[in-house]
Structure 1
Amino acid sequence: MRIYTRTGDDGTTGLFLGSRVSKADVLVDAYGDIDEAVSLLGVARASCADPRLARLLLDRQRELFVAAADLATNPAHRDRLKPGISLMTQDTLDLLERLIDELVRERPLRPVFVVPGATATSAAIDHARTVVRRAERHVVQAQDAGHGVSPLVLRYLNRLSDLAFVLARHAAGDVTEEASHD
């Protein structure tokens, strides 16, 4: 089996369920950012000693695949997407919000700016958070450029960055550095 197809040699890439777009399209930037966030969450998971946190990270990686598929779909065939597999759902958003609330109850956030890097896991999660924020900005740009972007994907990315902040604080434990104004 060959890994290369040569179909992208002209500077285009295929959308899920057909058609092609420029690799320079902001929509490709958006789902490329999501791919990067999936990888960074994998880096965090690889260094994570806490099984619960590792599972939460893996679940977010899988959800990000759904968000990317939702974004990368030929708009003419969105009716063929499957909820929770290739189509973002309200249930996924609701789950994130419940999870954020639960984790904040367990470890209340302090009203300070946190310098990332308390642990390798927390630093990787914070890095993923910034990439998710970039993906969110690119989704807004794609929407502004006329792409039919699911509002649920945009809301999901916004919630996920909040959850990533909370997860990074859990991964840091009691080790934190606050930004100072010396």
Structure 2
Amino acid sequence: MEELTRDDWIAMFRDTQDAAVHLELRDVYSVPEEEQQIIQWRAGEYDPASDERDREWWLDLMRETTSRGVRVRRARIVSEPVTEYIRYEYAGTPFNIRAGEEVRWLPRRQASRLTLPGNDFWLFDKSMVVFNHFTGDGEWASTETTRDSDAISLCLAAFEAVWAVGIPHGEYKPG
């Protein structure tokens, strides 16, 4: 188990030549960088411009990555009715899309017949998986990086299965 820094993530994306895919499986994430934005969102004082500034490093990285022709896809499996966190995340997803990411949503009840790994992950160029481990209440716990071919095959198959039945962001309405 390891902790990856912002510089590590930047390096991984800059090294990616073809594709990066991300599967999110949780209904709640407790991300310290988002805490203030969520408080404002909850109070009805959500400021999209401020939220976008808070995500600037990530959005710049996505623009840089996709401008090189790298395809970045994100799929989210969510329980319905969705949690407050997912409603907040949905509100900010247009930033990801404008930065070049493609995003799809899959209601959890439609994922019952899919084989899925136990943790969120990023898969880079079908050659490296980065699993993100979280605590029960959604706090980040650790990261695990592997080039194990079985893990890569599982994650690739899982992501593509979710992507095939996922709903594009523009068509998904949180239930």
State the TM-score, normalized to the length of structure 2.
0.29
| Structure of greater Rg | 1
Structure showing the higher strand proportion among its residues: 2
Q: What is the TM-score normalised by the length of structure 1?
A: 0.28
Compare the two structures and name the one with the higher helix fraction. Answer: 1
